[in-house]
Amino acid sequence: MSNIGSGSGGGNGLVRIKTLNSSFVQLNFNEMEASQNALKTLKQTLQVERAGWQYDYMVKIGRKSKYDVFYQEYGENALVLDSGLLDLPPVQEILQLQASETEDNPERVMIDEYLEDILESDILPFAPYAYQIEACRKALNKKRKLSLMCTGSGKSLTISLCLEYFRRKGLKGVLVVPNINLLTQFANDIKSYNLNELHSSIITFGGGSKKLKQLKESNQALQAGDLVITTWQSLSKLELEFFKSIDFIICDEVHKFSSSCTSQLVQDSGFAEYKLGFTGTLPDSKSQKLTLIGLFGMPENIITSSQLIEEGRGTPIHITGVKLKHTAYTAEEFSRYGEYLDKLKVMLNAEGRNQIIANIALQASQRKEGSTLVLFTLIEHGFEIFKEIANRKGLSVQEDTPDLETMKDYGVYFMSGQSSAKDREAIRHLMDEDPEAILVANYALLSTGVNIKSLRYAIFASPVKSGVVVAQSLGRGIRLNEGKQTFNVYDIVDVIGGSGMFSRQYNHRKQIYKKSNFTLDERTEEINGS
């Protein structure tokens, strides 16, 4: 077993680690042949294959590695790591976990028999894909796993298969989701998979739930087979005694979890035998990536959006970059508007800009091929777009959002953080029923958890740079649906003085599109108003 202690120097059998907080630790690999061997093993453990590397020209010519690594070289036998990585199992433990995948391991045999039973018994309403079964197998075998599955790949089914295995074993634990909306949605998903016994064992709580209050006040321990579905905000309100009773913890959409939340889970869930994380993409922040790795272990790409499309299991995505050339200012004049947010507000409110976005949305709606989604960042801007679209469809909107029934009559909807969970769920269903429906919503609500099967068009009405937001938003439309040949995305790009910060953000998004092998074309329109 590895020993972690203070020290310096790199004698035989030692690997020195400098953490990001400048402290030093050293790992003593007593059972390994030499420090170089230990260092090699550690480096192999702390790297992950990048999504879409096969489309990267620099990788193809050998100028870049296909791997993202979570360390830096720091002299002989030394690495610079984030301190959160020290929560990973020591290397010998990692090697033991790898050895546990041998054919004669009893747990592996049990897992294989369970998955065979699932496939042969016709419990599920449809056959899982091979990658879903493999993702489940790997997670259960490793016990500590961060699985990357793109939006639209059936992540909820994979998680449900893991949960059903735990129920059959008589294990009790927690499924953590990022927001209240996903509580009911996930429970309904489990029910739709015909996992009725699992569904009947579900305890959901969040926000001001009475169940949460009772659980907290009584210090109640979970019973064998119990499954709690909750948000991390609610979970953080429970005492440490609760965590001592759990056998597993699964976190969905882990890129939405804050570093402080994840660190707390690392500390509290040390009693759990299984720690599994799932997400469509890793967060942009390197420190947040490392914190997630500290909790769940190294990430592994199960399937990417480009692979999903190539295999015929996802809808091809076509991007149109709509470049809006602002002629009312020079780059120098625009720079005087101060900080980024001030510049953003000026640009978003430019005369004629919302009209162009409304034109695109209405033209898409009139094709009657599927619903249309318009995404924004600032609620004031989003509401102005909604007003423009609604008024042109005959719905007079002034200052207040109309009630749901009124919006339904005109087929145009507005969704923000102020929308109730009930209305959000209702709108999601209404969008699937109406091929002309238009939804104006903020990125934060649609980037995780909301699935609109009929979605055919999307408009990025506000600039974004975050790879997570872009990937998750695109994932809303990748799901296959009858009659859906292509998911069309209009990326609105504001060009001021020939280039500018918003153009640079667009170039970042273009790299994401290129890596994902999406088709892309561009067109230019002029805006003269200020």
Is 91 contained in some domain? Answer: no
Same domain for 393 and 431, yes or no, is: yes
Q: Does residue 370 fall inside a structural domain?
A: yes
User: What is the Cα–Cα distance from 169 to 191, expressed in whole angstroms?
Assistant: 19
Higher pLDDT, 12 or 19: 19
Element (H, E) at 16: strand 14-19
Average pLDDT over residues 107-131: 91
Q: Count the domains in the chain.
A: 3
The pLDDT score that the predictor gives to residue 9 is: 39
Specify whether the backbone of 170 is left (phi greater than 0), alpha (psi in -120 to 50) or beta: left
Q: Distance (Å, rounded) from C-alpha 222 to C-alpha 203?
A: 10
Domain boundary among 42, 60, 85: 85
> Two tokens at 257?
């979890």
Domain end (from 280, 309, 338): 309
Q: What is the DSSP string of 37-51?
A: HHHHHHHHHTEEEPT
How far apart, in whole angstroms, are the C-alpha atoms of residue 199 and residue 527? 54
The CATH number given to whatever domain includes residue 508 is 3.40.50.300
Q: What angle do CA 238, 243, 247 make, to 5 degrees?
A: 145
Residues 183 and 305 in one domain: yes
Do 398 and 294 lie in a common domain? no
159 vs 153: CA distance, rounded Å:
12
pLDDT digits (tens, 9 = 90+) for 302-338: 988 888 888 888 888 999 999 999 888 887 888 888 7
Does 250 or 95 have the greater pLDDT score? 250
Residue 95 lies in a domain: no
Q: What is the mean pLDDT of the chain?
A: 80
Please give the residue that has the higher pLDDT: either 468 or 400: 400
Element (H, E) at 487: strand 487-496
Buried b (16+ CB within 10 A) or exposed e, 350-366: beebbebbbebbbebbe
CB atoms within 10 A of CB 247: 18
d(CA 152, CA 163): 20
More confident residue, 462 or 282: 462
Which residue's entry shows tokens 């500590």?
A: 144
Question: Does the pTM exceed 0.85?
Answer: no
273 shares a domain with 148? yes
Three-class DSSP labels, 396-445 = CCCCCCCCHHHHHHHCEEEECCCCCHHHHHHHHHHHHHCCCCEEEEEHHH
For 392-423, what is each residue's pLDDT tens digit?
999 999 888 999 999 999 999 999 878 887 88
In a domain, 76, yes or no: yes
pLDDT at 20: 65
Check: CB of residue 331 under 8 Å from CB of residue 311.
no
The pLDDT of residue 500 is 75
Please, how many CA atoms are within 13 Å of residue 251, restricted to the half-sphere of its CB? 27
Q: Is residue 10 part of a domain?
A: yes
Segment 19-45 shows an average pLDDT of 62
The answer on 384 and 512 residing in a single domain is yes
* Token pair recorded at residue 442: 């903020």
Could you write out the DSSP letters of every residue in 229-240? EEEHHHHTTS-H
pLDDT, residue 134, reads: 94
Specify the higher pLDDT residue, 230 or 10.
Answer: 230
Q: How far apart are CA 291 and CA 259, in angstroms?
A: 6
Phi and psi for 46 in degrees, rounded to 5? Answer: -95, 45
Burial (0-12, 13-18, 19+ Cβ within 10 Å), 143 = middle
Whether residue 276 lies inside any domain: the answer is yes
Q: How far apart are CA 487 and CA 460, in angstroms?
A: 13
Backbone Cα Rg of the chain: 25
170 is a domain residue: yes
pLDDT exceeds 90 at position 56: no
Structure tokens at 496: 């001021």
Band the pLDDT of 55: cuts 50, 70, 90.
confident
Measure the CA–CA gap between 111 and 35, rounded to whole angstroms: 35
Question: Is residue 225 located within the same domain as residue 359?
Answer: no
Q: Which two tokens stand for residue 128?
A: 């899982």
Q: Among the three residues 309, 330, 357, which one is the final residue of a domain in this structure? A: 309
Per-residue confidence at 493, pLDDT binned at 50, 70, 90?
very high
User: Does a structural domain hold residue 93?
Assistant: no
Give Cα separations from 102 to 161, 162, 389, 410 (angstroms). 22, 20, 60, 60
Q: Please state which of the ranges 22-31, 102-111, 488-497 shows the lowest mean pLDDT.
A: 22-31
**What token pair was written down for 323?**
């470049």
pLDDT tier at 86 (50, 70, 90 boundaries)? low
| Single-letter amino acid, residue 293 | I
User: Are 150 and 125 within one domain?
Assistant: yes
The verdict on 288 and 412 lying in the same domain is no
Do residues 39 and 77 make contact, with C-beta atoms less than 8 angstroms apart? yes
Query: Can you give the residue range of the structural domain that contains 59?
Result: 3-85
Q: With cut-offs at 50, 70 and 90, classify the pLDDT of residue 98.
A: very low
Residue 39: both structure tokens together = 């260092």
Supply the pLDDT for residue 36. 67
How far apart CA 52 and CA 282 sit, in angstroms, is 14
**CA separation, residue 525 to residues 324, 372, 495 (Å):** 5, 21, 10
pLDDT band at residue 95 using 50, 70 and 90 as cut-offs: very low
Predicted pLDDT at 338: 78
- What does the chain come to in residues? 530
Burial 369-389 (b: 16+ CB within 10 A, else e): bbbbbbbbbbeebbbbbbbbb
- At 149, phi and psi to the nearest 5? -130, 120
Number of Cβ within a 10 Å radius of residue 338: 9
Report residue 32's pLDDT band, with 50, 70 and 90 as the boundaries: very low
Which two three-digit tokens encode residue 362?
């209405």
Integer Cα distance of 147 and 276 in angstroms: 8
Least confident among 98-107, 247-256, 265-274, 353-362: 98-107
- Asked whether the predicted pLDDT for residue 10 surpasses 50, the reply is no
Residues 237 and 106: beta-carbon distance below 8 Å: no
Helix then strand then coil, % of the chain, to nearest 5: 45, 20, 35
Considering the domain architecture, whether residues 297 and 352 belong to the same structural domain is answered as no
Same domain, 225 and 371: no
pLDDT at 70: 81
pLDDT value for 390 = 96
The mean pLDDT value for 249-257 works out to: 85
Query: How many CB atoms are closer than 10 A to CB 81?
Result: 22
Closest C-alpha among 200, 216, 180, 168 to residue 422: 180
- 426-465 per-position pLDDT tens digit: 888 898 899 999 999 988 766 555 667 788 999 999 988 7
139 lies in the same domain as 243: yes
Q: Where are the alpha helices (DSSP H) in 297-339?
A: 305-310, 331-335
Instruction: Outline where DSSP puts E strands in 189-273.
Output: 202-205, 227-231, 248-252
pLDDT at 12: 47
Identify whether the C-beta of residue 182 lies closer than 8 Å to the C-beta of residue 175.
Answer: no
Determine the pLDDT at residue 92.
Answer: 47
Q: Do 281 and 168 fall into the same domain?
A: yes
With vertex at residue 138, the alpha carbon angle to CA 132 and CA 141, rounded to the nearest 5 degrees, is: 140
Residue 257 DSSP SS3: coil
The pLDDT, as a whole number, for residue 446 is 61
